[in-house]
Amino acid sequence: MAERERVLSGVQPTGQATLGNFLGAFRQWRIQQEEYESTFLIVDQHALTVEHDPAALREGTLQMAALLFAVGIDPTRSTVVVQSHVAGHAQLAWLMECTATYGELSRMIQFKDKSRGSAMVRAGLFTYPALMAADILLYQTDLVPVGEDQSQHIELTRTVATRFNHAYGDIFTIPRAVIPPLAARVMDLSHPEAKMSKSSADGQGNIYLLDSDDQIRRKIAKAKTDLFNEVLYVEDDPARAGVRNLLEILAVLTDREPKDVASNFVRYGDLKEATATAVIEQLSPIRERYQDYMGDRSQLVSWLAIGRERASEVASQTLSRAYDAIGFLPSKEVTYGD
């Protein structure tokens, strides 16, 4: 039987996960785990690129694991692993930093966005895409399901992997990004020109996966629309971004095309009501399962230990091949990547 293709993606355990994370990433992961050999990373090392609180990081990591399982990531089918549990990520990241160029890293939009206006930019924020490349390449990944905001990082991963392979031998699989056709960029409900982001300043335009039904209804009722007063799906018109966002959210949750969804509504109020109902239907069982999982922390910890064990196997193989290819002297005493 042919080997199944490998899927890998990750999420930072910072802040509260949003509907953007769910529609852009988690929902795809849940579907893809049926078909592909899947690894999902809780990227705690990435969380150090900006100011952080150690206790919150530790708790957030366990909470993110509970959330992924609550969303439907199945620990018997998929490997869920905490990035810092597998040393190979940091080890391979150095090789990637020495393969990527300063110019390439300087062009990363996320670096420009996150460093803007900050007096103390951590060096890790600059080199973060090299660590992300290592995350992906360590597992010989074929497919990386992500939201649109990550496509530039996947492109860089392909570039450095290709460069490394040309220089040192055929070590890495060249991965491809899988961006969902709809809701690849869920927008902030109050500021529909900006991405819904868990680190956004006031959070009023975010639907959090653990929001109560009431909070979801209230936030969607207040979502910014426009003065056109017609429910139309128009791509690429900034003036209609709010309505477009609601239509895309409802379309993806009801498995329809946004234009068809639009044709069912005349009033913005009715569109908001239907969107809120669909979001609640999707999120409220996740919220309940999350509470159950958080009530059994030792179960979470042991699933993560199983994840670590499975992940380490592939990671250590890739790392020793990469170390060997780049010219490091092997030592019998050292086992890499776990």
Shortest spacing between CB 157 and ligand AQP, in angstroms? 13
Shortest spacing between CB 321 and ligand AQP, in angstroms? 27
Q: Does 205 bind ligand AQP (CB under 6 A)?
A: no
Shortest spacing between CB 43 and ligand AQP, in angstroms? 6
Shortest spacing between CB 172 and ligand AQP, in angstroms? 20
Helices of type H across the chain: 19-21, 27-32, 54-71, 88-97, 102-106, 109-115, 123-137, 151-168, 213-221, 241-254, 258-262, 268-294, 297-326
Residue nearest ligand AQP (C-beta atom): 24
Task: Tell me if 104 sits within 8 A of 132, measured CB to CB.
Answer: no
| CA max distance for the chain | 71
Nearer to ligand AQP, 18 or 91 (CB): 18
Among the listed ranges 22-30, 129-137, 265-273, 286-294, the one in contact with ligand AQP (CB under 6 A) is 22-30
Q: Does 175 bind ligand AQP (CB under 6 A)?
A: no
Q: Please pick, among 112, 195, 222, 224, the residue that the annotation labels catalytic.
A: 195
- Which single residue is written with the structure tokens 């992940």? 311
In degrees and rounded to multiples of 5, residue 177 shows phi and psi of: -80, 145
Shortest spacing between CB 13 and ligand AQP, in angstroms? 8
Partnered with residue 79 across adjacent β-strands are 39
Nearer to ligand AQP, 88 or 147 (CB): 147
Q: Does 199 bind ligand AQP (CB under 6 A)?
A: yes
Q: Does 150 bind ligand AQP (CB under 6 A)?
A: yes
Is residue 198 part of the annotated active site? The answer reads yes
Q: Please pick, among 114, 259, 272, 332, the residue that the annotation labels catalytic.
A: 114
Task: Tell me if 38 sits within 8 A of 78, measured CB to CB.
Answer: yes
Can you tell me which of 7, 8, 25, 67 binds ligand AQP, judged by CB under 6 A?
25
**DSSP state, 121?**
-
Q: Does 20 bind ligand AQP (CB under 6 A)?
A: yes
Is residue 112 part of the annotated active site? The answer reads no
CA-atom Rg of the chain in angstroms:
21
- The C-alpha atoms of residue 244 and residue 23 are separated, in whole angstroms, by 15
Can you tell me which of 15, 72, 75, 124 binds ligand AQP, judged by CB under 6 A?
15
Task: Tell me if 33 sits within 8 A of 190, measured CB to CB.
Answer: no
Q: Does 146 bind ligand AQP (CB under 6 A)?
A: yes
Helices of type H across 52-101: 54-71, 88-97
Residue 16 identity (one-letter amino acid) = Q
Can you tell me which of 12, 38, 45, 275 binds ligand AQP, judged by CB under 6 A?
12
List active site positions. 114, 195, 198
